[in-house]
Structure 1
Amino acid sequence: MPLNIPTFDDVLTAAARLAGLAHRTPVLTSRTFNDLTGAEVFFKCENFQRGGAFKFRGAMNALLALDISARARGVVAYSSGNHAQALAYAAAIKGVKAVIIMPRDAPELKVRATRGYGAEVIFYDRYSENREEIGGRIAAERGAALIPPYDHPDVIAGQGTATLELIQEAGPLDALYVCLGGGGLLAGAALAAAECAPACRVVGVEPEAGNDGQQSLARGEVVTIEVPKSIADGAVVTHLGAHNFPVIRDKVAAITTVSDDALIEMMHFFAERMKIVVEPTGCLAAAAVRSESQSLRGQRIGVIVSGGNVDLTRFASLIMAAGDKTPREPAMARAGPETFR
């Protein structure tokens, strides 16, 4: 059976579905970051999204795309945290029963939030068990709809609405940097950018420890790796999705990687200079812009800040480790043309 690959029209449909449900998150700039990179950088701050991450967009869009009878049977998902919270939250809003399969080593903050939204949580061992198999089995046993975190056309289309809003607000971009785990956000971003800013170069950013997407783009086929170990827990995956890879292959210019140390330094910068809490995964794109700044001077750059769901004790310990590595010049952050609502 051929795959149902999402299109830009699906992104527009998702935007209409999400109106009044998903926040139109703010676009911020930092004078210090612009000075450091020599570029004009626009941060789309999905850490202010409902549920604390961009995942709410895709989860709610996929939930709303189900017919009433399917919603009545409930939904199942597997996730290390942000999609878990997002689908649990969306299901709670719409009165739908949700079952979420999470790794035993998922951040406790994300587990508590998922349960707090009313979802049933089932744990698995990410190093010895297959979450796709577990999710498929439970969905079949319960007659529920399976909504995976990234390999789903409606999820991809929903994630694309973040880039749609960013370009509407910031205007044309020369490049757009997007964090990459399973590929749902990157594929959605590429669909929106290709239509709204055709000259924009879309770049995916992965943890250095897990570059399956980079390998896949180079080979022209999905590459599967061992479970990587990185502080970017939202990007700890082994392969891209079947629905998003064709979009990434055709519309993404490059995929790069950054180290965990670079993520920690970026967390410190966001907290100290822009006064926002960003989780390690959410720092991937910005860290790559910082490291590649020599090639970006004079350009208008978009950055998707994917989320802010991080345990505060862990957050404090990580940014303390960054010490005095970040610059000390005064900085200003300002809202974009539209205010957060």
Structure 2
Amino acid sequence: MLLRAVTVFVVVAASRFLPAAELGPDLDELQQSRQQGIEFLRLSQNEDGGWTAPRMVGITGVCTVALLDSGLSADDETVARALSYLKSYRQKDGGIYHPDSSHRNYETCLSVLAFEKANADGLYSKMIEGAENFLRGLQWDEGEGIESTDSDYGGAGYGGHKRPDLSNTQFFLEALKAAGVKEDDPAMQKALIFVSRTQNLESQHNTTANASKIDDGGFFYTAAGEGETKAGTTDNGGLRSYGSMTYAGLKSMIYAGLSKDDPRVSAALEWIKNHYTLNENPNMGKQGLFYYYQTFAKTLEVLEVDRLEDASGVKHDWRKDLAEKLFDLQKPNGSWVNEADRWYEGDPNIVTGYALLALNRCRAK
């Protein structure tokens, strides 16, 4: 369910402060920035329809989704070539990935998002159904011989079965939702079990060894095994929460049907309140910054939040804040790139895709 109401400590309905017309960035500047990003991706597309390199199906997925999300049609020449590229990687098992890839979940999820946006006439319905079935088979559950008490249970990993993580699980849930899977579906509810265990919050839903070491309501990378975070540990071995995973965890919980009254959601919103910033990926500095921006924007859109109150009581028009930050960071050629080259963010193609996905949510509705 979408969250329409207000949590007493974080969310304030826009209607009580500003009319919709006064929310968000300058629309002309927004449109100009988006168009420049679109034109950069048009020019940087490879002859085969992909971006960056032939085996980078995931990067092409991000760029294709971003262009479709920006309003381009499936018939647009750039988009049509990209869809043809993605379609060429459809495998017999229903997945959409490079045959030598270890990122099969990630690549298939992004392809599902692209084909769903291009599926107005039902042309890709069968492909989406096959990909959905493939993704279900990747989820860590009884099929891997594990019980619901196992810390791996319900999660999705890259697809090589190393271990599940919250980043892949959020894309897994987003793809299933795009494919029409309901929130009470077993796959969604199993994923919720995994997501709940990646939150620094001790509860009946999280009794793992890491649950009470920090207990700040934020999220970390994975609860699998002994757990892992990309943000470092505390003196007592706690796994520090960080921004991109906290927004990913919160969005995933909403997709799985949690309401604003659930303590897990309330705790995550409190963490967001205490760490509101667009200058960095909280607790990660510049690492994963643009991934953070697009996850931040998607989550607040799902929550239907217009203004977000920070720890000092300042109420932020997040759309305006985010858009203006991205305007400042955009390169003269229309692209974006992260100086902290981790998780492919030194590549202007994927980063421009992330930036467009964020900007597309910066216009108040």
Give the TM bin, normalised by the shorter chain.
under 0.3
Q: Name which structure has the greater RCO, CA cutoff 8 Å, separation 6+.
A: 1
Instruction: Tell me the TM-score normalized by structure 2.
Output: 0.23
Larger radius of gyration: 2
Instruction: Decide which structure has greater strand share.
Output: 1
Provide the TM-score with structure 1 as the length reference.
Answer: 0.24
